[in-house]
């Protein structure tokens, strides 16, 4: 049985980009008769709030996107800890003593525009009490070899993650489990065979595949889709003030938003009101566009606007 998942971070209400990603994930899974999980990624205590988990669930149900299973990532701590135990037993975990400012010195840009980590603390060992006793961030030593893979859309995801991004943090200083480890462990634990997600996450895939290999976990099929962008060229994000679903819902019906998303994704030629179920009968990825679309929400209306020249995601650092 194929299994897909939608895994939003609970850092705000859904915005149009979240709704598009959920819709595409749902269409992919339902068109293949796959099981579909919603995993609410709420491990970052600085940015996630329980009311946003609630809000996102409500926004997705409002759009007409349903799930076979719903899990909250904070309930999955036992499997994250078991993975850290395995990495520690294999001698692959090390504490990182680098300060934020020392990380910035001479750092190279990673493929997503962030600062790469030069693996400076690789020689350090875990303290006596093991990883549980550490009050420093923990990193995992990745093999220096390359990961060669393409996603289902043909996007080349090949990279040497140990040098392009550097060894990832898997447990933060505050004890929170970091994204790359949680995503890999949780996908495997729920038997995920297809990961459908936005193109902003494509550069992370090689690091995640390297972690899967270290943990002996299977690699799912990946597909990365177009993004909705703000007029400044940034991807839509609540952090940058994009209209949340609570605001969209005050002006627009679910069918209108669904029709807009279908048009933005290239699944319909015009933004006529529709539902996820109506889109299902002729859904196939060949109909979907691959170009990112710029979106404006003004005077209670969602509109697609022509991309400004030089725009696009990610912006050059
Ligand atoms: N939680 C991540 C996000 O909202 C996505 C995780 C994933 O799809 O791999 O950006």
Q: What percent of the chain has pLDDT over 90?
A: 86
Q: Does 315 or 44 have the greater pLDDT score?
A: 44
Q: Closest ligand 1 atom, CA of 18?
A: 4
Q: Is 110 left (phi over 0), alpha (psi -120 to 50) or beta?
A: beta
- Write down the pLDDT at residue 124: 97
What b/e string do you get for 279-291 counting C-beta neighbours within 10 Å, with b at 16 or more?
beeebebeebeee
**CATH number attached to the domain at 77-224:** 3.40.50.620
Higher per-residue confidence, 223 vs 230: 223
Read off φ and ψ for residue 104, nearest 5 degrees. -75, -25
CATH superfamily membership of 3-67+226-309 = HUPs (3.40.50.620)
- Per residue in 171-203, pLDDT (tens digit) is 999 999 999 999 999 999 999 999 999 999 999
Give backbone dihedrals phi and psi of 164, rounded to 5 degrees, phi first.
-75, -40
Do 77-224 and 3-67+226-309 fall under one CATH topology? Answer: yes
Whole-number pLDDT of residue 237: 66
Cα dist. 127→92, 93, 138, 263, 274 in Å? 13, 11, 11, 55, 57
Model pTM score: 0.94
Closest ligand 1 atom to residue 8 Cα is 4
Continuous segment of H or E residues that includes residue 130: none
15 versus 108: the higher-pLDDT residue is: 15
Q: What is the pLDDT of residue 317?
A: 35
Q: Where are the domains of the chain?
A: 3-67+226-309, 77-224
Give the atom of ligand 1 at the shortest distance from the alpha carbon of 5: 8
Q: Which residues, judged by CB distance below 6 Å to any ligand atom, belong to the binding site of ligand 1?
A: 7-9, 41, 183, 197, 201
- Dihedrals φ, ψ of 173, to 5°? -55, -35
Mutate to test the pocket of ligand 1, among 60, 151, 183 (most ligand atoms within 8 A of CB): 183
Q: Which of 53, 56, 201, 238 to mutate to test the pocket of ligand 1 (most atoms within 8 A of CB)?
A: 201
- Output the CA–CA distances (angstroms, integers) from residue 226 to 21, 69, 106, 204, 275, in the order listed: 9, 26, 33, 16, 20
What is the chain's mean pLDDT, rounded? 93
The pLDDT assigned to 315 comes to 47
Does the bond joining 152 to the residue before it have cis omega, within 30 degrees of 0?
no
For the cut 60, the answer to whether the pLDDT of residue 294 exceeds it is yes
Mean pLDDT of 266-271: 97
Q: How far is CA 289 from CA 79, 226, 258, 284, in A?
A: 37, 7, 16, 11
Q: What is the pLDDT of residue 212?
A: 98
Tell me the CA end-to-end span of the chain in Å, nearest whole number. 42
Return the best residue to mutate from 5, 6, 7, 76 for the ligand 1 pocket (most ligand atoms within 8 A of CB): 7
User: What is the whole-number distance in angstroms between the Cα of residue 266 and the centre of ligand 1?
Assistant: 23
Question: What are the angstrom distances between the C-alpha of 34 and each of 129, 188, 191?
Answer: 43, 16, 11
The residue whose CB lies within 8 Å of the most ligand 1 atoms, and thus the one to mutate among 41, 180, 219, is 41
Over residues 283-310, the mean pLDDT reads 89
Comparing 307 with 130, the larger pLDDT belongs to: 130
Determine the distance separating the centroid of ligand 1 and the alpha carbon of 242, expressed in angstroms.
Answer: 18
Higher pLDDT, 306 or 170: 170
Mean pLDDT over residues 224-228, rounded? 96
Beta strand 69-72 pairing with 35-40? parallel
In sequence order, the β-bridge partners of residue 171 are 138, 177
**pLDDT at 240 exceeding the cut of 60:** no
pLDDT tens digits for 56-85? 999 999 999 999 999 999 999 999 999 999
Burial label, 146 (beta-carbon count in 10 A; 0-12, 13-18, 19+) = middle
Q: Give the ligand 1 atom nearest the CA of 187.
A: 9
The Å distance, Cα 42 to ligand 1 centre, comes to: 11
The stretch 109-128 carries a mean pLDDT of 93
pLDDT band at residue 243 under the 50/70/90 scheme: confident
pLDDT of 316 higher than 60: no
Render 185-196 in DSSP notation, one character per residue.
HHHHHTT--EEE
Q: Three-state DSSP class for 297?
A: strand
Q: What percent of the chain has pLDDT over 70?
A: 95
Q: Are 289 and 51 in contact (CB under 8 A)?
A: no
pLDDT number for residue 291: 94
Q: From ligand 1's centre to the CA of 8, what distance in Å?
A: 5
Q: Does 224 have pLDDT greater than 70?
A: yes
């Amino acid at each position: 049985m194929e299994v897909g998942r939608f895994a939003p971070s609970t850092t705000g209400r859904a915005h149009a980009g979240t709704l598009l990603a959920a819709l595409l994930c749902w269409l992919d899974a339902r068109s293949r008769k796959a099981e579909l999980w919603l995993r609410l990624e709420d491990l970052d205590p600085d940015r996630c709030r329980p009311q946003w988990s609630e809000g996102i669930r409500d926004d997705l149900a409002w759009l007409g996107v349903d799930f076979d299973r719903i899990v909250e990532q904070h309930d999955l701590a036992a499997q994250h800890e078991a993975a850290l135990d395995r990495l520690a037993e294999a001698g692959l975990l090390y504490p990182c003593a680098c300060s934020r400012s020392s990380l910035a010195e001479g750092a190279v840009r990673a493929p997503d525009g962030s600062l790469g980590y030069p693996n400076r603390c690789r020689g350090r060992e875990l303290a006596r009490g093991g990883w549980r006793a550490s009050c420093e961030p923990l990193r995992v030593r990745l093999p220096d070899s390359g990961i060669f893979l393409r996603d289902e859309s043909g996007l080349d995801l090949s990279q040497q993650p140990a040098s392009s991004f550097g060894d990832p943090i898997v447990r933060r200083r505050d004890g929170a489990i970091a994204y790359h480890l949680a995503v890999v462990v949780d996908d495997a634990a729920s038997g995920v065979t297809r990961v459908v997600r936005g193109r902003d996450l494509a550069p992370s895939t090689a690091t995640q595949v390297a972690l899967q290999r270290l943990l002996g976990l299977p690699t799912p099929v990946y597909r990365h889709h177009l993004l909705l962008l703000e007029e400044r060229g940034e991807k839509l994000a609540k952090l940058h003030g994009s209209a949340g679903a609570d605001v969209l819902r005050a002006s627009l019906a679910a069918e209108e938003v669904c029709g807009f998303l279908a048009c933005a994704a290239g699944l319909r030629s015009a933004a006529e009101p529709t539902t996820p179920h109506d889109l299902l009968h002729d859904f196939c990825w060949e109909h979907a566009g691959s170009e990112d679309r710029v979106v404006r929400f003004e005077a209670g209306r969602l509109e697609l606007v022509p991309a400004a020249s030089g725009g696009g995601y990610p912006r050059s650092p």
